[in-house]
A and B are shown apart, each in its own frame.
Chain A
């Protein structure tokens, strides 16, 4: 019995002894003996064995299954209603149309039989022609089947003489693929066949395998066109797009009789070929365009960009890989023995190790030097610079300590020893006027005394004010203390307590004096108090009614007091009293006891004409002079020698220190001049 094998290309069974397939010319036996390849040996890895086993199991069991496309398989599966007479004829045709044992042609006849051929007038022609071919093919021996089969195919494609009109109508390309839109389709035919029953011809294009080379492409096209010609012949009565039968009556055939009819298979399927050629042209187009645009200047990439782009390494690697691929000979399958076969899995089969690039930067020495400088600068920013420790005692400290020591020692020495005996200052006319003014007041007359100096000035102001208060009380005048600062009320108590020291009977309130406390509001408060003192300060500092005392019961305004005395060291307070209260005194005298620093501000009011201040006691000097007039033994006399010594030494220190610093300044200036002169 003859052993047959399936052609790996066309699937037609052929003699196993033949080297090539008589139908398609494909090599049936590989150049390299497959038995020499150890597919089952241990050289192959397991994963490759698994792939091969999977391929073997996935292969179709029969050539029919292998070669039938999906869309044809779908057409087979569709039920077709064929009349019994036609069906019997089809069955007989099917049985006679087999090419011996060839399955490919059998497939075509099989699925073509499933169409309602009675709807097409060309069915008779096709069936008869096909039967004739089948009969002839059965008479040919399988070994010599190539030539007669080819001849029969060509004869079948060639236009039959007995029905030229029908053939021209069938093989007209535009009619076959629906390009001729002017073709009229009879309604009776349209109603019998629906478009859903026929697969569009566009799917045929998808089934065409893409050849890898031009030669193979032409061969494959020839092969494909053969069965497509058969397909076209079978569907000659249908519109390619609508799937409707094409009008083929005599009248219609006569209308298109004059048109050119091409019998070439390539012309029957121009769209398929044109699409394939178009794809090839589009693939080759870029190269052509580059050649056409060769007149453009070549672009020179910057050096840094060239360094970053490893084009050469890749190009060299790819070129080497392509050379190896070209030299490679296929060892198995239908392409066994052929060279230059494209690898099935180029990425997987690429065994060349990609070139590695070092991540180390290539820097010059200058760049290293500059980067080190930058690193050092950044590190230096984070390092704390220790500040030089300042000396505990500087020359300025020594100078300040020296001045304080000289003043303290000299004043303390004078205070303890009473040296020098400077004597009492001479009473000026101002002091004499104040003395006479107080002496002129009637006993029991109310005198308003404002204690408006801070505790810091108690050393000076208490001494001066104490002398005046002693005189007032000795005169039997009734004292009413008031203050426009918050510490003035208790400052008055402190003054009285100081004056009471060493006395058997001190000043008593409210018999001899009353303390009204604090007047808020500064200038406004003073003005308001001057206008109506009983409304502003109705109670004394102890919270008792202040104006019930006999001496001050009739006081309704500031003018009710016989004398108003203001003791302050603040020029602004002195000005407020003078400007706000003095206009309301209505003839009552206003006397100021001020510190030495407030004298320049108060003296203009005293020197004015008419006088706004009727008496002025200025500083410790006038206080000592007033005390000399009183012939009192107040402690202000004890302060006079240290005061003079302190003033003298302060003057001397300023003078001496000024001259020394002037010399130092001159020395520094001379150094700078010498330095600039160089």
Chain B
């Protein structure tokens, strides 16, 4: 069995920090609350540094792609040029300046909105092809529910089918919420289990 001195050190730090944060929810001791606040502040600082390191790593990777002449390195070149341009504008004029807003309004926002619009078209196409790929009961339920919600949303004045609105509310606010609540409960249980495993040292995502 490979054993390293780093493992118990890392595990003790993680377990000790987790216990301090967890006890801060239940025990109102000033020292414990201050210690927990200090740990959280360190976490925020480290996260900010991690974002900065991530940006540097992104630049390094795409720079190597351009230098090595890999296929599609033109996109890396566009990325680096865009990064330098936005960085300089935000640093010189500020993030809320008119130039920064211009970049956001006329480059970032249209691109992302267009991608989402294409996603809408692809989803419609995939739903239509669903019967060709897999023709069974679940496909019929999934596609039928989608079509019903979409069409029932259309509020044509003076044209209302009795019970249609109630059925829509039943599906969107009872059935779907029931399913979502089950998901949330599962997420909560999973989070508790993961927290306990980390506190016990069974899971060591920090390595060691």
- Give A residues with C-beta under 8 Å from B: 399-400, 403-404, 407, 420-423, 425, 454-459, 486-487, 489-491, 493-494, 497, 515, 517, 520-522, 524-525, 527-528, 531-532, 535-536, 541-543, 575, 599-601, 603-604, 607, 621, 644-645, 647-648, 650-662, 664-666
Contacts and interface: CB of A to CB of B under 8 A. Distances in A.
B147 interface: yes
A515 B96 contact: yes
Contacts of A532: 37
Nearest to B172: A599
Contact of A456 (B48, B113, B150, B153): B113
Contacts of B112: 454-456, 458
B125 A603 contact: no
Interface string B91-104: 00011100011001
A543 B93 CA distance: 12
Given A520-B48, A664-B132, A665-B132, A644 B150 contact: no
B129 interface: yes
A414 to B, nearest CB: 11
A527 B40 contact: yes
B154 A600 contact: no
24 contacts: A407-B121, A455-B113, A486-B51, A489-B95, A493-B101, A494-B104, A520-B48, A521-B44, A525-B44, A527-B40, A528-B40, A531-B37, A600-B172, A601-B184, A603-B173, A604-B181, A645-B154, A647-B151, A652-B151, A654-B124, A654-B143, A657-B129, A664-B132, A665-B135
Interface in B82-97: 94-96
Contacts of A603: 173, 177, 180
Interface in B1-44: 37, 40-41, 43-44
A662 B95 CA distance: 52
A601 B184 CA distance: 8
Given A658-B143, A664-B132, 9 more contacts: A525-B47, A644-B154, A645-B154, A648-B150, A650-B120, A654-B146, A657-B127, A661-B130, A661-B132
B193 interface: no
B44 A536 contact: yes
Among B104, B120, B153, B172, max chain A CB count under 10 A is at: B153
Contacts of B125: 399-400, 403, 657
A171 to B, nearest CB: 95
A403 B121 contact: yes
Counting chain B residues whose Cβ lies within 8 A of the other chain, the interface size class is: 35 or more
Contact of A654 (B109, B128, B135): B128
Majority SS of interface residues in chain B? helix
B108 A487 contact: yes
Among A399, A490, A542, max chain B CB count under 10 A is at: A490
Contact of B147 (A407, A655, A661): A655
Contacts of A652: 151
Contact of A651 (B41, B51, B122, B151): B151
Contacts of B129: 399, 657, 661
* Closest A-B pairs by Cβ, 8 of them: A657-B128, A651-B150, A456-B112, A661-B132, A600-B180, A662-B131, A651-B151, A521-B47
A621 B154 CA distance: 10
A528 B43 CA distance: 10
A651 B146 CA distance: 7
A524 B177 contact: no
Contact of B128 (A399, A456, A487, A644): A399
A647 B41 contact: no
A419 to B, nearest CB: 12
Nearest to B41: A528
A197 B147 CA distance: 131
B170 interface: no
B115 interface: yes
Contacts of B128: 399, 403, 653-654, 656-658, 660-661
Contacts of A486: 51
Nearest to A640: B155
B194 interface: no
Nearest to A652: B151
Contact of B177 (A421, A600, A662): A600
Contacts of A541: 94-96
Contact of A604 (B132, B147, B148, B177): B177
